[in-house]
Structure 1
Amino acid sequence: MGLFDFLKKGEEKPVQKPVAQPAAKPVAPAAPVAAQPAAATQPAFDTYTVKSGDSLSKIAKNFYGDASQWHKIHQANLDKIKDPNLIDVGWTLKIPKS
């Protein structure tokens, strides 16, 4: 069959219909899975304790490799960080996993 065989008129081959497959046996539904405790799942956050000289951008650079991702840390810690330019030594911050 060549590249231009579709241009030849009158030599159309009939389309073969697919052979019907026998119906599959129904599978019994699995038993319901009990809810896993929250401790079994991995947390969506790491934690970091602020040290002297730290800033959100320095922390973001350490965790994400990109200082401009500081806003992720700020959003995750709005309960503590009112001004992203002012963070206190000793605070334990949640660091969202990327």
Structure 2
Amino acid sequence: MPHPNELDRNRIKRGLSARKRYLYVSPSVRPVRGGYLIESPCCSRNADENGALIDVALILYDAVSGIWKLFRKNHAVGIWEFYSLYHRLASVIDELSADPERVFWQ
């Protein structure tokens, strides 16, 4: 199945509803070339003092290797940083939902 697609976009949205941080905001999952961009209002004011919509994560699928690549946004310098590789989308969603190091939901 090519990416992005509605089925996986909805899986990500549903999975993020079980996240551990910032439960009072509604993140969006937008299709981008080769994957999905997760954005959310910034409630903590750590990344944006006005509480604007910020980039949370970028999920890209490598069709050749069958690997999901997860990136986090470094808001201080405004760039995407590679975070990890996953064989299953469910594992990506689990990592984003738990975010034990607070690198995504800042």
Please report the TM-score for the alignment, with normalisation by the length of structure 1: 0.23
Q: Where is the strand percentage greater, Structure 1 or Structure 2? A: 2
Higher RCO, Cα 8 Å, sep 6+ = 1
From the two aligned structures, give the one with the greater helix fraction: 1
Larger radius of gyration: 1
Superposition TM-score, scaled by structure 2 size: 0.22
